[in-house]
Amino acid sequence: MNTTPLHELDRAIQELLRTMSASLKPKTIVHYQSFAKAFIHYLNRDYPEVESPGELQRNPHILGWLQDLAARNPPLSNRTRLAALYTMRHLFRDLGDNGYPICEKLILRQDFPPRQKCLPIPVSPEVDNLMSQELHKTDDLLSNAILLIRATGMRVGECLGLKVDSLRNMGTNQWALHVPLGKLHNERLVPMDEEACRIFERILCLSQPARANSADSGSFLLLRPNGKPFYYSLMRKYLIKSSKRAQCPPVRLHQLRHTYATMMLRAGISLPALKEILGHKDLEMTMNYVQVSQTDLQREYHQARQKMARIHAVPGFAQPTIEDEGGIGGICGRLDTIKHQLEMYRRNANNESTNHKIQPLLRRIAKLRSTLATLQESKKGPD
């Protein structure tokens, strides 16, 4: 590709990417380079007169680029267009921060296409049971690794990065799995039940021979017979084969994480707790992982209504016994009821005039109640 007319802009972007490589992952730099290269190619083709960052204008250069992205055949997904816009906006801002003269607001908010809403794709309970039975029946290293992903909601990459000491004792009969730095560069502890702990111990047992052949033997939990770690494609192919053996639709690895999140929510876990277990940064990300059906909504609604009825129920007063109905005890009970009803009426009325009228009545009833109680005590006499 001939980029001679764009030598200064191209050089500035490449220099910026070299600086960014000190703090970003290599894959991220490759991602940035691909979009920057495509943008340079577009300018070289349609606007070869542009030679420096300061010559870039929103109209026609950026608007023309947006039209070029939208006119691709086959069409680009909204996700790809979003990534291209975010990347170039980031690079333009950093060029300005590094002293290059460049126009502000080359890329505006309205330029970004809407994010595509992808519905969560958990497997059905029937398929979940079939897969569980098949994987338990096979009982080899990969089948137990997949069962561990399903039991904890981990990402596949996080599972591959587990160490032999990842299972942590948190107290009496309480265990948690230490998940290493993952996709969002955070680490966390995921609670484990007895079944999940058993799967972890089974993996330790099955990988013991491979660990003897590994140069880094006390490190990774999942090792192939030659002592090297497993990788994603091996697990993906294994799960597809297991799906066929179980005579159910093909199951993808990431579906296990969606299934875990959905089942945990239906079991009653709160969204904030689920967010921490999944290692998400916000609740919006967690909501993208769970499937909420109309059945779930109906169940949650009626449970909430029942709780509201219990919370707002007005405590009743003990009714006077038969022997007290004609005595002072019965009269005191009725006064308590009248006082309570007047107090509730006063609160609901929420009127200053009404309040001034009822308050004296409440004081009189309280005084009468106290006098009757004293009279009743005097009738009993000393013991």
The DSSP-derived string for 154-205 is --HHHHHT-BTT-EEEEETTEEEEEE-S-TTS--EEEEE-HHHHHHHHHHHH
Q: CB neighbours (10 Å) of residue 286?
A: 21
- Half-sphere exposure (CA, 13 Å, Cβ side) for 329? 11
Q: Are 148 and 202 in contact (CB under 8 A)?
A: no
> Residue 89 is which amino acid?
R
Q: What is the pLDDT of residue 140?
A: 93
Residues 45 and 163 in one domain: no
Whole-prediction pTM value? Answer: 0.56
191 closest CA partner among 183, 179, 206, 203: 179
Residues counted in the chain: 383
pLDDT single digits (tens) 14-40: 999 998 888 888 888 898 999 999 999
Q: Where among 111, 137, 163 does a domain terminate?
A: 111
| Residues spanned by the domain of 44 | 4-111
Residues 137 and 210 in one domain: yes
Read off the CATH number of the domain in which 225 is found: 1.10.443.10
Residues 339 and 239 in one domain: no
Q: What are phi and psi of 304, to 5 degrees?
A: -65, -40
pLDDT under 50: residue ranges of the chain: 1-5, 217, 314, 322-323, 383
Q: How far is CA 117 from the centre of its chain?
A: 15
Q: Angle between the 232-245 and 253-266 helix axes, to the nearest 10 degrees?
A: 70
Q: What is the pLDDT of residue 50?
A: 87
Residues 62 and 140 in one domain: no
Number of domains in the chain: 3
Residues 154 and 275 in one domain: yes
Here the tokens at position 151 are 């039991």
Q: CB neighbours (10 Å) of residue 12?
A: 20
Residues 80 and 136 in one domain: no
- Which residue in this structure is represented by tokens 């001679």? 4
Residues 107 and 133 in one domain: no
Q: CB neighbours (10 Å) of residue 299?
A: 12
Q: Are 260 and 274 in contact (CB under 8 A)?
A: no
Residues 134 and 256 in one domain: yes
Q: What is the pLDDT of residue 239?
A: 94
44 closest CA partner among 8, 80, 84, 86: 8
Residues 130 and 230 in one domain: yes
SS3 percent helix, strand, coil of the chain, rounded to 5, is: 60, 5, 30
Q: What is the pLDDT of residue 210?
A: 77
Does residue 193 form part of some domain?
yes
Q: Where among 294, 312, 333 does a domain terminate?
A: 294
Q: What is the pLDDT of residue 5?
A: 46
Q: Are 44 and 1 in contact (CB under 8 A)?
A: yes
Residues 374 and 225 in one domain: no
- Which residue in this structure is represented by tokens 């981990």? 154
Give the integer Cα–Cα distance in Å for 78 and 66.
Answer: 12
> DSSP state, 323?
G
Q: Are 343 and 363 in contact (CB under 8 A)?
A: no
